[in-house]
Amino acid sequence: MRLWKISYTSIAALPEETANADALVICALAEQYNALHGITGVLTLHRGRFAQVLEGPETALRALMARIIADVRHHTVKMVADGPIFKRRYADWSMAFSDPKAFVSDQLDDVLEQTAAVTRALGTTWH
């Protein structure tokens, strides 16, 4: 089994006044599905835009993305990342809903950790 990460952004089609409550419902349903398929991840919603990071077996993520793209609760899905990973960042969450600021901070931490790992693997330093 190859461990994979997919992240994307999209525009919510949900009414703004119920969007956060609707996103929590989405997460609750996703928790059950994801747990059954070995998928972990995090979702956030900010100013009418979703951002989500998903991790798990590549085939399971591809099947889930087909469902996500077809979901009428959002549109204009744009892929941000789609590739193999060595370990899960969200191993404890089959699906979590995150505050946008915490989500962005966590994504930045992930990018910095990945950059450091690549630099160590290459045995190089930047000056």
For residue 76, name the pLDDT band (cuts at 50, 70, 90): very high
Sign of the alpha-carbon dihedral angle for 49, 65, 96, 4:
negative
- Average pLDDT on 61-65 reads 97
User: Would you kindly state where each structural domain of the chain is located, as residue ranges?
Assistant: 3-99
Q: Which residue has the higher pLDDT, 71 or 123?
A: 71
What does the alpha-carbon distance between residue 34 and residue 27 come to, in Å, rounded to a whole number? 10
Q: Which residue has the higher pLDDT, 62 or 115?
A: 62
- Average pLDDT on 95-112 reads 79
Task: State the CATH class of domain 3-99.
Answer: alpha beta
What does the alpha-carbon distance between residue 2 and residue 100 come to, in Å, rounded to a whole number? 29
What does the alpha-carbon distance between residue 86 and residue 4 come to, in Å, rounded to a whole number? 8
Bridge partners for 57 per DSSP = 3
pTM of the predicted protein model: 0.81
For the segment 40-52, what is each residue's pLDDT rounded down to a tens digit?
A: 999 999 999 999 9
What does the alpha-carbon distance between residue 11 and residue 20 come to, in Å, rounded to a whole number? 13
Does residue 62 surpass a pLDDT of 90? yes
